[in-house]
Amino acid sequence: MKIYNSYTNELEEFKPIKPNNLSIYVCGPTVYNYIHIGNARPIILFDVLARYFKSLGYKINFVQNFTDIDDKIINRSNELNIKFNELSEKYIKAFLEDISNLNILEDVKRPKVSENMPEIIEMIQNLIDEGYAYESMGDVFFEVSKYSEYGKLSNQKIQDLEIGARVEENTNKKNPIDFALWKKMKEGEPYWDSPWSKGRPGWHIECSVMSKKYLGNNFDIHGGGIDLLFPHHENEIAQSRCSCHGENKFANYWMHNGFLEINGEKMSKSLGNYKLLRDILEKYDGSIIRLFMLSTHYRKPINFTLEGLDAAKRTISSIYDTLERYAKLEKDSNSNIEARNAIIEFEEKFKDAIEDDLNTPLAIASIHEFIKKINKLITIDSFKEIDYVVEKIKYYLEEVLGVKMKTNENNKLEEKLIELLNNIREEARKNRNFELSDLIRDELAKLGIKSIDGKVK
Q: Which stretch binds ligand AMP (CB under 6 A): 142-150, 223-231, 275-283, 381-389?
A: 223-231
CA distance 205 to 180: 9
Partner that binds at residue 359, options ligand AMP, Zn ion, none, CB closer than 5 to 8 Å by kind: none
29 binds ligand AMP (CB under 6 A): yes
Closer of 196 and 304 to ligand AMP (Cβ) = 304
Q: With CA atoms as reference, report the closest residue to 37 among 316, 283, 254, 357.
A: 283
Distance of CA 450 to the CA centre of its chain: 36
Strands 250-257 and 218-225: parallel
Residue 231 interacting partner from Zn ion, ligand AMP, none (CB closer than 5 to 8 Å by kind) = none
Contacts by 311-320, CB closer than 8 A, 24 or more apart: 312/288, 313/284, 313/285, 313/288, 315/291, 316/285, 316/287, 316/288, 316/291, 316/403, 316/405, 317/405, 319/367, 319/371, 319/393, 319/397, 320/405, 320/407, 320/408
Nearby residues of 284 by Cβ (< 8 Å), 6 or more positions away: 309, 313
Kindly determine how many residues on this chain lie close enough to bind Zn ion according to the rule CB under 5 A.
2
In the complex with Zn ion, the residue whose CB is nearer, 5 or 65, is: 65
Told to check if 173 binds ligand AMP by CB under 6 A, we report: no
Position among 259, 346, 350, 383 found at the interface with ligand AMP (CB under 6 A): 259
Alpha-carbon span 139 to 40, nearest angstrom: 34
Report the partner that residue 267 touches, choosing among Zn ion, ligand AMP, none (CB closer than 5 to 8 A by kind): ligand AMP
Q: Is 62 helix (H, G, I), strand (E, B) or coil?
A: strand
Choose the contact partner of 127 out of ligand AMP, Zn ion, none; CB within 5 to 8 A by kind. Answer: none
Could you tell me where the beta strands, DSSP code E, fall in 160-301? Answer: 179-184, 199-201, 218-225, 250-257, 260-262, 265-266
Comparison of 39 and 197: residue with beta carbon closer to ligand AMP? 39
- Of 309, 401, 388, give the one whose Cα is nearest residue 350: 401
197: Cβ–Cβ under 8 A, 6 or more apart, which residues? 138, 139, 182, 184, 185
Cβ nearer to Zn ion, comparing 117 with 456: 117
Question: Per-residue x/- mask for Zn ion, residues 9 to 48, rule CB under 5 A?
Answer: ------------------x---------------------
Q: Which of 25, 41, 102, 194 binds ligand AMP (CB under 6 A)?
A: 41
259 touches which of Zn ion, ligand AMP, none (CB within 5 to 8 A by kind)? ligand AMP
List the one residue from 42, 151, 231, 286 that touches ligand AMP (CB under 6 A). 42
What residues between 183 and 212 interact with ligand AMP by CB under 6 A?
none
Phi-psi region of 188 (alpha: psi -120 to 50; beta: other; left: phi over 0): left
Decide whether 299 or 349 has the Cβ nearer to ligand AMP.
Answer: 299
CB 426, CB 455: distance < 8 Å:
no
- CA dist., res. 30 & res. 442, Å (int): 36
| Coil/strand/helix, residue 43 | helix
Does residue 237 bind Zn ion (CB under 5 A)?
Answer: no
Site for ligand AMP in 61-80 (CB under 6 A): none
Decide whether 93 or 412 has the Cβ nearer to ligand AMP: 93
Q: How many residues bind ligand AMP (CB under 6 A)?
A: 17
Residue 207 contact partner, candidates ligand AMP, Zn ion, none, CB within 5 to 8 A by sort of partner:
Zn ion
- Partner whose footprint covers residue 42, from Zn ion, ligand AMP, none (CB < 5 to 8 Å by kind): ligand AMP
Q: Is 27 in the site for ligand AMP (CB under 6 A)?
A: yes
CB of 235 to ligand AMP, least distance (A): 14
Judged by CB under 6 A, the residue of 5, 23, 30, 366 near ligand AMP is: 30
According to DSSP, the residues that pair with 3 across neighbouring strands are: 12
- Residue of minimal Cβ distance to ligand AMP: 225
Interface characters, 182-221, with Zn ion (x: CB under 5 A): -------------------------x--------------
- The one-letter code for the residue type at 294 is L
Q: Does 39 bind ligand AMP (CB under 6 A)?
A: yes
Give residues with Cβ within 8 angstroms of 419, minimum separation 6: 456
Nearest Cα residue to 51 out of 405, 355, 400, 357: 400
Across the strands, what pairs with 261?
Answer: 266, 303
Binding stretches for ligand AMP (CB under 6 A): 27, 29-30, 38-39, 41-42, 224-225, 227-228, 257, 259-260, 266-268
Binding stretches for Zn ion (CB under 5 A): 27, 207
